[in-house]
Amino acid sequence: MRNNDRRLRSRHTTASQENRAAWLFLLPSLIGVLLFVLLPFVETIRRSMFDTMGSTWVGFSNYDSVLQNDAFQLAVANTSRFLGICLPLLLSGSLILALVLHSRPLRETKAARVFKTTFLLPIAIPVASIVLLWQTLFSRQGLCNGWLTWLGAQPVDFMGTGAAFWVLTATYLWKNCGYTQVLWATGLEAIPADQYEAARVDGAGPWQQFCHITWPSLQPTLVLTLILSLLNAFKVFREAYLVAGRYPQQSIYLLQHLFNNWFLSLDLPRLAAAAILVALVLLAGILALLKWWDHCAKEE
């Protein structure tokens, strides 16, 4: 009995020491999150309910002003349209690419390895280089208009008309497709090969294997990929801002343009209210996806 008590006390002491060591390692990160994330977020909530000077309580009037603002409504519509088009195209296109590169004829070939590396290059290209590429291709005297003129067609004002939206969409897809393909490929690698072998023995074709093995097994990867793609979609503002400035063509006037303009004009109460609204929508969407992720994990 004494030996057992000693062992239990020893294990308890060891566990306590490990817990203290873990908290010590986590403490710098927790302090950083508290100082640079949580406290600024609480201050943003406070400022959203005060006047410009931050001294007079105005309740939810800033939120009403934001929701009734024409620029905010335009930015929300454009951002929602951008996400609604880009995310399905990115997820489906990168999945097809991952399936092709992961297929048995290409999986172990040198060409597949070269393609995987090549598709990752766009995400490593600096933003300044992408902006220069935009200007070279899509300006009034750019290469695209030069090709159109050579073909006998009328030049297009890519950045001054609704075509700017599709330029922005194509840029996002081009830059993120390779990275998203790697995420899908990681999920494909985790699927046991014996499941496919058993399915082939039972006479299942490629489409049946995809519907009953591949796609159900990729549900957790889908959730992670969707969250990361959603967050990356908000980073496309950098390219749009550097190319077209604070007030771009109407079709690519995004929420980040609005936030930037309100910040420069020191309209802090409305900026804080708009930021809280967007944060709540994103938080609700991410929590719903995480709940789906937990559901998929339980089913497995």
Tokens of 165: 């939206």
Degrees, nearest 5: CA angle 36-254-139: 120
Q: What is the pLDDT of residue 51?
A: 83
Higher pLDDT, 296 or 139: 139
- Global pTM reads 0.81
Q: What is the pLDDT of residue 13?
A: 63
Tokens of 150: 């050579």
Q: What is the pLDDT of residue 199?
A: 82
Name the residue type at position 47.
R
Q: What is the pLDDT of residue 248?
A: 85
Do 95 and 139 reside in the same domain of the chain?
Answer: yes
Answer yes or no: is pLDDT of 85 > 90: yes
pLDDT band, residue 84 (cuts 50/70/90): very high
Do 25 and 104 reside in the same domain of the chain?
Answer: no
For 198-240, how does the pLDDT look when each residue is reduced to its tens digit (9 = 90+)? Answer: 888 888 788 888 888 888 888 888 888 888 888 888 888 877 8
The mean predicted confidence, pLDDT, of the chain is 82
Q: What is the pLDDT of residue 86?
A: 92
Task: Average the pLDDT over 153-175 and give the result.
Answer: 84
How many domains, in total, are found in the chain? Answer: 2
Q: Is residue 107 part of a domain?
A: yes
Percent of the chain residues past pLDDT 90, beyond the cut: 10
Among 297, 182, 192, residue whose Cα is nearest residue 228: 182
Answer yes or no: is pLDDT of 1 > 60: no
Specify whether the CB–CB gap between 220 and 297 falls below 8 A: yes
Do 183 and 273 reside in the same domain of the chain?
Answer: yes
Q: Is residue 52 part of a domain?
A: no
| Torsion sign, CA atoms 259, 265, 271, 272 | positive
Do 263 and 288 reside in the same domain of the chain?
Answer: yes
Answer yes or no: is pLDDT of 48 > 80: yes
Q: What is the pLDDT of residue 287?
A: 86
Do 199 and 256 reside in the same domain of the chain?
Answer: yes
For 257-293, how does the pLDDT look when each residue is reduced to its tens digit (9 = 90+)? Answer: 888 888 888 888 898 999 899 989 888 888 888 887 7
Higher pLDDT, 35 or 160: 35
Q: What is the pLDDT of residue 80?
A: 92
Do 69 and 179 reside in the same domain of the chain?
Answer: yes
**Residue 130 sits in which domain range?**
61-299
